[in-house]
Every structure is written in C-alpha cells, then in structure tokens.
Structure 1
Amino acid sequence: MRVLVIGSGAREHALVLAVAEDPSVTAIACAPGNAGTSAVAEQLGVDAIDPDAVTALAKDWKADLVVVGPEVPLVAGVADGVRKAGIACFGPSAAAARIEGSKAFAKDVMAVANVPTAHCEVVDNPAHLDAALGRFGPTWVVKDDGLAAGKGVVVTTDFDVARKHALMLLDGGHPVLLESFLDGPEASLFCFVDGRTVVPLLPAQDFKRVGDGDAGPNTGGMGAYAPLPWTPPGFVDEVVETVVRPVVDELVARGSSFSGLLYAGLALTSDGTQVIEFNCRFGDPETQVVLALLRSPLGKLLHATATGKLAEHPELDWEDGAAVTVVIAADGYPGKPRTGDVITGGELEGVLHAGTRRRDDGAVVSSGGRVLSVVGVGKNLKAARKQAYATVERVHLAGSHHRTDIALRAAKGEIATPVA
C-alpha cells in the first residue's frame, strides 16, 4: 500500500513514523512535510489546502491511501476531491468537518443529539456584546467561531480582557462564541469513525497555556500525556455512548456522515463529563503520545476506516506504560516566532519535527512557532517524563522555551475529578 500523508507538523511526523512500521505499507510520502519527515518519507510539494492540487498529486504519485492531517485542508474539501478521484482518503468531507470548522454548527449538532456541553451564545454584532457578556461570568470563555489553531480562545475572570478579545474577533469579521465555564480536569479522546462504527483510542490530556502552571496565553499545545490514570472506570465507554456515537449518528441523519478521526475535547465536571469542542482530525500534540503506545499496524487501521471496513478490524493492541511529549517552541511563540535558527539534537530518538526545514547546506533550522515535539515512553508517567525531559536537555535551539510541568501533577497523583 502506498500512503500519502498531507501536512507538515509533528502530528504528521508521528503519523509517518507509525505508518512506516506497518509491513503492509510499501511506500510513504509526505506533502509538504518538514525536515523530520524527510528522513522517513518521500517529500512532495503541494498546496495542502487546494483540493485539486492534492488530488492531482495523489493521482500522479499513485497513492492507495491519502491521510489528511490538519483541519484547514479538511474544511476546504480536500478529502472530497481525493475520494471523487476514486482514491481512499482518511479524513472527513467538508460538510462533516464543520464539526470543527464552525463551533456554532457543533453546538447545534450536540443540542439535537442531547450531548452534554457548556451553555453558549453566538454574538455577531458588537452592539449586542456587552449584554451577552453580562449573561456569563464570573469566568468568561470567549471563542472564535471558526478555525483558530487553538489560539482563538480566551478564558479569563477579567471582564475587560474578555470584552477586548471578543471585539478583536468581531472587528476581524469573526462571530464570537460565549460559553459558560466548565470546571474539572480536561481530557481528549480520539475515535476512528467510518460512518457509524466507532473505535476509541487511549484518552490523553494536552496543555494549551504557554507557561508552567497554565500561565499565559493559549497556544496550539505545549505538551501532552497518555493514558490518564485519574479517569473513572468505564470513562472511555461512557464517552463513546453518550458523546461520540450520538454525534456520529446525528451527522449521518444530516447527510454529513463522518469518516476519519473524530476528536472530543472533554471536561470532567462536577455535573459529569461535558464536551468542550470537537475536532475533525488527529490532535497535536496528543497524537504524538497516543501513537507512541499503539501496537496495531496503523496503515491497515487508517485504510479500514477510509474504506468503511472499520467493523472488520481486529481489536486494538496497546503498549503497557505511558507516553509524554514536550513541545519546544521558538522565541516569541505564541506571538510572532523567530525563525531560521539552527537546531541541534533534532535527529535524536523521540524527537518529532514540526516547524523545521533543511537549508541548502544541510543544516536543520526553525521555520515555525512549535518547532519540535519530544516524546518519552516509560512504564509509568514518571518514567516517561524522565525520558522526555532528558532528551529535551540534549536539544538546542537558541531562544527556545518549553514547559517543565507536562504530566507532573498526574504523575504525582494530584488530579481528581470533581464530586457532584
């Protein structure tokens, strides 16, 4: 099987590495890829958000399976174009990808499917903003209704900060979603879906804030770990039955059947598990830890999902133990990152590339905000953390920064779900 992966981040590097371990895969390409994926996959140039360009590339390269990593190409209809050409594609249609592309659409789906989620209100006119903000708080959750790469959300107890962010979004032509604040720890659950069949993966937790102790602004994600030792018994089965399956069935009822990876962002609150958001693809950086623990051949699993044969796939096999990933970010991130700095240690085991490129002289340099994702695996979270941070210390990127507390509270047993 010839597999073409679309994307250029650490998620795609993790996908490429996992697919390469599948004996049924005979060739792998990544477009546009990065300096890390170039070591294990053929690099191909493409405009990843152009359905015609991706489809033409898949046909020219004779791909048997196209795997679309990021959300923007999916919302743009890349999977539709590839499937129309008769090529199997892992990733939902543009219609189904609205579950991430429009938070208002996702809220409507959840309301009809009776899925527990935060109370919300959409504001598309600045004249209505203050009255709407007055109906929320004392902690305000203000979101961009569209795609924002994890950075369009502000959670604050300061009314003025909430109002400023909302006005910025509205001034840019983006509707604003106000939500009630959900207490309790957060979790991410990935599920393979091929229309109606749902196969969950291990739950994970990511860290959105840029600094230790969840300080500073939101980012695309500064680290993650899996599994979650603090979740209650039966957690995954409960989420599948009360959250994922009802949404999958509602999308079918709307003529927007979902095929690919459905990601549920969850809060384990004092009122039970509630949905924060849905994504239409593998999350980054959670993918890096979940795939590090997956033993089942990934190529076959992706192909079964893309071809509607997920129900026939064997039960998933997992490594014992835990995985932790730590993101190394460029100076300036999550604002404007500094780029072009030389990276040393990028070839070490467990180091996944995101914002990197290889110069003509062969040096690997930074080319984005989140530059590397360092993965450690061990018998438990403490051991996985130790391995990940030991590797981080061997990587050098001038001016870079990373969190030092990824999975720390979980490793110490300090996370508990609220009691109603």
Structure 2
Amino acid sequence: MDVLVIGSGGREHMLVKKLNQSDRIKQVYAAPGNGGIATEAICVDIKDDAIEELVAFVKKEAIDWTIVGPETPLTKGIVDVFRREGLKIFGPTQAAAQIEASKDFSKHLMQKYHIPTANYQTFTNSEQAKAYISEQGAPIVVKADGLAAGKGVVVAMTVEEAHQAVEQMLVHNRFGSAGASIVIEEFLEGKEFSLFAFVEGEAVYPMIPARDHKRAFDHDQGPNTGGMGAYAPVPNLDPDHVSFTVESIIKPVAKAMVAEGHPYTGVLYAGLIETKSGVKVIEFNARFGDPETQVVLPLLENDLIQVIEDVTSSIDPKLKWRDQYAIGTVVAATGYPGSYKKDVPLPELSDDSSCYLIHAGTKQGEMGQLVSNGGRVLLVGAIDNTIEKAQTEVYHYLKRFDQTDHFFYRKDIGITES
C-alpha cells in the first residue's frame, strides 16, 4: 500500500523510517518532509495544514493511509475532512484534538472526571491573573491556552517572573490568539516521564514510557524547548506508577472523551510527573511526541501500519518491544529556542552502524549538501542492551559537531535525571 506522512520534523522522519520496515508498504510519501526524509520517501511540496491540497493529492495518488504527525493540521480538522471524503487517516478529530489545542479544555476535563493534575485557574484579564499569582506565590506555571509550538509554558520561580509571563501573553500578545487566554497552575515537583498510547474510543494500548529533556542546556538549565533529547524505557520508573497512569489516567481520559461526545482515535500523549502525592498529568498531546517518538518507535517490534489497522478495527495489536534501551540527543542551532541562523552546512554525516539519524530542521542546499532549516536540526540515536552503552555510541558520533559554533547539544541526555 501507499502511505502519506504529514509533517516535516523528526517525529515524521521516524514515522517514515518505521513504515519503510514494513513489507506491506509499497511507497511512503511525506508532505512536506525535510532533507533527511527526502532520502527515504517521496516528498511532496504541500504544507502540513493545506488540507484541501492534501485531500486532492491523496485522491490523485490513491493513497491508502494518511498518518498525521504535527498538531496544527489536527486542530484545523484534517481528520474530519478526510473522513467526509471517505479517506483513511490516523489521528483525532478536531473536537478530540482540543485535548492539546486548549489547556483550559484539557484541565476542565481532568477536573470533571477526577484525573490527577495540578490545581489551576484560567484568565483573560492580566490584572486578575497577576493578583492570583501574588496570592498563590512562586514557583508557579503560566501557560498559553492554545498552541505555541512548545514555547507557551513559563515555569516561573519568582512572582515577578510570573507577572512578566502574564504581560507577554495577555498584554503584548506574544503568542497571538494562542495566548489570548492563559492557564495558571501550581508548580509540581518530581521526575517527569511521557507515556504514549494507541487509542480507539475506550480501547487503550499503551506503549513504553520515555523521558525527555526540555531545558536547552546541561543539568536542566536554560529556557524550555521542544525537547533536547530523550530515552526509553525509563530505568528507574516505578512499575506501579506506569500501571496507575494507564488505569487511572489514560483509560479514564479515553472514556471521558467518549462521554463528552468526542471519541478519540490516534496516539494520545500523556506528559506526567511523579510527585510525592502520586503521578499527575502535566499535559496531553493529540499525537506522537517529539523527541520521544524517536526513541520509542525504534524499540517497537510490530509493523506500524498493521498496528494502525488493528487499532482502528478494534483489534488488540499485541504490542511487542525490544528488551533494550534507546537514547537520542538533539543537535540544535546555536541560539535556539531564541533566534538562530538557517542554511548552515552540516558536518559530514557518515554512516555509523551503531547510530541512527533522524532529521528535523534540514533541507537540501543549493549545492546539493544538507543545510540547517530549523532550531532543532537532527537527532542522533542509538539502541543497546544498557543505557550507558547507547549513550557512549551517541556521544561518540556527536563529536563531529564540536568543530563548529553553529550547533550545540546537551552532553547529559539520559545521564542526569530530569
């Protein structure tokens, strides 16, 4: 069969790689793809949220399945449109994608159905928001209600910092309509982890847990990013906490979405934290997370397209996992998550059988070489029997980036516990 992957990042490159392992796949397409994806799929010059163009392409090429990577097309209703046209697509409807698109929707759902999460309030008025912060004290978390490309969350360690975040979002309109409403919630202390699940209505098929590193610099310093690296599974994670997450968080959320009239189909991402009072939800995403996907899918033994067909047909896919560890470290453009240069030539990316490369912000340059085209440029991953061996392989490969000041990477992915 022919499959289209929508998106242009590292998550989508990982999906392309995984699909290409299937003997059921004839051709993988990507829209729009990136420089690395172009070596493994046919890239189509259509933006990921150009829904009508994507529908026309899928019909013209008789694509059998479409898999949506990023959140934007989901929140614009791509699944609804494809379904109306009788086209097979894997992902949640626009209504179901609100679980990511609106922090207020997500928090209200959790509150209504008694799913553990941080206490919160939602505001549109800056003075009321500041008064609430002054009353609650710091540390405290300020979040843009809508989608802000992973940058709409401020973990404020002082009241002044929280007030500044409110000003940026509600007064200075930093995130546009995404920040027209903000959620302010209590600061939760503990170790974070992520758990994905394939979901169809009330049926939930959990994957293995992963942990990503959000802060830009070593020892979890610097600003929040879309993720600087990840590893899976998480060696020191209490198995009871994983069971609790599945039984008391993911399954109840799936049931809640059905009860609310927005049944969920696709991958549900739960961002979680182990607190002294138990596991709580930080956020939900309506799709595979990035960069966790780049360390979870390499450990999945199943054929991904078969899993998708089984899940959407209400058949247990019987997920099987390699008894190994995967670790991935992101190479980012210097300056990320702030301003940075594009079109910087990449060092020679020679093949290394011990590592795999996942491209995110890359494209073909005018001279045919790969150049940077985003903040997070690529991820170097490795799989081995111990997390230490996988780390050694990744960091040996990454030395080639030490000769340039145009890129940086964290030296402690999987080493320090975030």
Query: By the TM > 0.5 criterion, same fold?
Result: yes
1:259 to partner: Cα distance = 0.4
The answer (yes or no) to whether the contact 1:123–1:132 under 8 Å persists in 2 is: no
Describe how 1:69-108 pairs up with structure 2 within 5 A. Answer: 69-108=69-108
The alignment's C-alpha RMSD in Å is 1.4
Confirm or deny: 8 A CA contact 1:142 1:155 kept in the other structure: yes
Output aligned runs, 1:45-194, within 5 Å. Answer: 45-171=45-171, 172=173, 173=177, 174=179, 175-194=181-200
Are the equivalent residues in 2 in contact too, given 1:80–1:93 (CA < 8 A)?
yes
How far the C-alpha of 1:127 sits from its partner, in A, is: 2.3
Q: Residue by residue, what CA displacement relative to the aligned partner does 1:361-418 show, whole Å, maximum 9, x if unpaired?
A: 21110011000111111111101111111121235765101100101035xxxx8xxx
Question: Which residue matches 2:348?
Answer: 345
In structure 2, the residue corresponding to 1:311 is in which secondary structure?
Answer: coil
Task: Give the Cα–Cα distance (whole angstroms) in 2 for the partners of residues 304 and 169 of structure 1.
Answer: 42
In the other structure, the counterpart of 2:313 is 309
CA deviations on 1:193-246 (whole Å, 9 max, x unpaired) are: 011210000100111110111111111100000001111123332211100111
Provide, for residues 342-378 of structure 1, a one-character-per-residue CA deviation record: whole Å limited to 9, x for no partner. Answer: 0123453511100010023211100110001111111
Find 1:334's aligned residue among 334, 337, 355.
337
Question: Which residue does 1:359 correspond to in 2?
Answer: 365
Same amino acid, percent of matched pairs:
41
One-letter code aligned to 1:186: E
Query: Residue 160 of structure 1 aligns to a residue in which SS?
Result: helix
Does 2:284 correspond to 1:278?
Answer: yes
Instruction: Determine the structure 2 residue equivalent to 1:206.
Output: 212
Q: What is the aligned counterpart of 2:264 among 258, 269, 274? A: 258
1:318 deviates by 1.0
CA contact (8 A) 2:219 2:416 kept: no
Which runs of no fewer than 5 residues in structure 2 stay unpaired? none
Q: Are 2:328 and 1:321 equivalent residues in the alignment?
A: no
AA in 2 matched with 1:137? G
Shift of 1:44: 0.6
Determine the structure 1 residue equivalent to 2:383. Answer: 377
- The DSSP-based 3-state class of the residue aligned with 1:11 is helix
In the alignment, structure 1 residue 406 sits paired with structure 2 residue 410 = no
Of 120-129 and 280-289, deviating more is 120-129
Q: Is contact 1:222-1:403 (8 Å) kept?
A: yes
Paired residue for 2:298, among 292, 295, 300? 292
Distance (Å, rounded) in 2 between the aligned partners of 1:46 and 1:6? 9
Deviation at 1:181, TM superposition (A): 0.9
Secondary structure of the residue aligned to 2:254 is: helix
Secondary structure of 1:343's counterpart equals: coil
* TM-score in terms of structure 1 length: 0.94
Query: Aligned residue for 2:23?
Result: 23
4+ residue stretches of structure 1 with deviation over 4 A?
395-398
Contact map agreement 2:342 2:373 (CA 8 A) in 1: yes
Partner of 1:418: none
Q: Tell me how far 1:302 sits from its aligned partner.
A: 2.2
What's the CA shift for 1:311?
A: 2.6
Q: CA deviation at 1:337?
A: 1.8
**How far, CA to CA, are the matches of 2:69 and 2:191 in structure 1?**
26
Aligned partners of 2:302 and 2:314: how far apart in 1? 13
Q: Which runs of 5+ in 1 are unaligned?
A: 416-420
Determine the C-alpha separation between the residues in 1 that align with 2:240 and 2:121: 32
Letter in 2 for 1:403: R
Contact 2:188–2:273 under 8 Å retained in 1: yes
Partner AA of 1:55 in structure 2:
V
Q: Equivalents in 2 of 1:57, 1:344: separation in Å?
A: 35
The answer on whether the counterparts of 1:144 and 1:176 sit within 8 Å (CA) in structure 2 is yes
Deviates more, 1:146-155 or 1:342-351: 342-351
Task: Tell me how far apart the structure 1 counterparts of residues 22 and 132 of structure 2 sit (CA, whole Å).
Answer: 52
Q: Distance in 2 between matches of 1:169 and 1:367?
A: 27
2:223 to 217, 227, 232: 217
Q: Residues of 1 paired with 2:356 and 2:398: CA distance?
A: 10
Residues 81-127 of structure 1: per-residue CA shift (max 9 Å, x gap): 11221111111001000000000000111112210000001110112
Aligned position for 1:390: 396
Cα contact 2:130–2:166 (8 A) shared by 1? no
Contact 2:30–2:44 (8 Å) recurs in 1: yes
Deviation sequence 1:248-304 (CA, Å, 0-9, x none): 111111111110000000010000000000000000000000011111111111233
